[in-house]
Homo-oligomer: A and B are copies of this chain.
Amino acid sequence: MASLMKSFVDVSPGSQFPIQNLPYGVFRPSAGASPRPGVAIGDSVVDLSVLSEAGLFKGPLLSSSSCFSQTSLNAFMALGRPAWKEARKTLQKLLSDGEPTLRDDHVLRSKAILPMNQVTMVMPAVIGDYTDFFSSKEHAVNCGTIFRGGKEDALPPNWVHVPIGYHGRASSVVISGTDIRRPRGQTSPPPGENAPEFKPSALLDFELEMAAFVGPGNELGKPVSVDEAADHIFGFVIMNDWSARDIQKWEYVPLGPFLGKSFGTTISPWIVTMEALDPFICDAPEQDPPALQYLTEKNRFTYDIPMQVAIRPKGESKASVISNTNFKYLYWTVCQQLAHHTVNGCNLNTGDLLASGTISGPVCMI
């Protein structure tokens, strides 16, 4: 049973990174060293460029591939699910407690397995386009109430038919730990005034999301069907879609969010693969009214991923939990999002990021 598999690498109980996970990221082993792909296990990082140079990826798809000698995961992500499965199988074998190849080769092991706190994580992929969806019904109702006033018509009439999304800013997607500067911008005229104000945002907010990295893309003019969509998804990161609500409120009519969100979007440096998430597959919410045919899944599923937000204000020693939610509540699945995104012929590229939209309602940090 996979759940009993153990690694010779120390993994403390409760670690997010047991041998069953093995998320992918990109890191520098030391300052000035070139970035290379790695997987996380326990409090360690496995340098895939070292394993690849040592000839340890012996499967048919990876033995002669240079994808682990790149400075991003794009080349690996472009290879598709069979290569991802091959890599996972190889890595789980190499890292398992019964396998001597790496465990007992102390020179190779010390080169390939590094303490996570000694490496520097960088962006895992070159993101071409970043799309943010709006797939939580509760969040859509909350936003409607905040931005358009009144709970009655808070949910736009298209919402139950269209997996609403918009193009986000790819350049300002950064990994956890990167400083985000409070944005300045225009905000609505104060009561009784005509001219807007220009000031640092006074309504900086966060949004808890998950985001999927696209693996193989599709050609312009060739939609991906909803039942093929899963094969185009490499894995997920957690995302904080920083939002300046006062800037957003003044600018967003008629063309949507722009500077209220483009000053920074934070993702986790580790991408959890679809394979690692398999044990957490569960039913997705029933849809009423039924989705249009191109969005109707033969096998409708989502993932049971509990999520939590805690905030620790500067100077405080303790973080306060302010939100508990679950990815499984999202009304539109990632397969529906991807099929919708391409149904008009829009092409996705490897490394594109599809964010879920806020999972449950926003909590303003006013």
Contacts and interface: CB of A to CB of B under 8 A. Distances in A.
Interface string A21-35: 000000000000000
Given A186-B292, A292-B196, A171 B256 contact: no
Interface stretch (A60-68, A245-253, A299-307): A245-253
A198 B339 CA distance: 14
Contacts of A260: 344
Nearest to A347: B171
Contacts of A174: 220
A257 B198 CA distance: 26
A259 B181 CA distance: 32
Interface stretch (A37-45, A154-162, A270-278, A314-322): A154-162
B166 A259 contact: no
B165 A255 contact: yes
A167 B262 contact: yes
B196 A262 contact: no
A264 B198 contact: no
Nearest to A250: B158
A289 interface: yes
Interface string A174-203: 100001110111100000001110100000
B158 A263 contact: no
A44 B277 CA distance: 56
A136 interface: no
A170 B340 contact: no
Given A164-B254, A171-B352, A259-B346, 19 more contacts: A128-B128, A129-B169, A144-B254, A158-B253, A162-B186, A162-B196, A164-B255, A166-B166, A167-B169, A167-B262, A171-B217, A172-B347, A181-B221, A183-B343, A183-B344, A185-B344, A198-B292, A252-B256, A259-B340
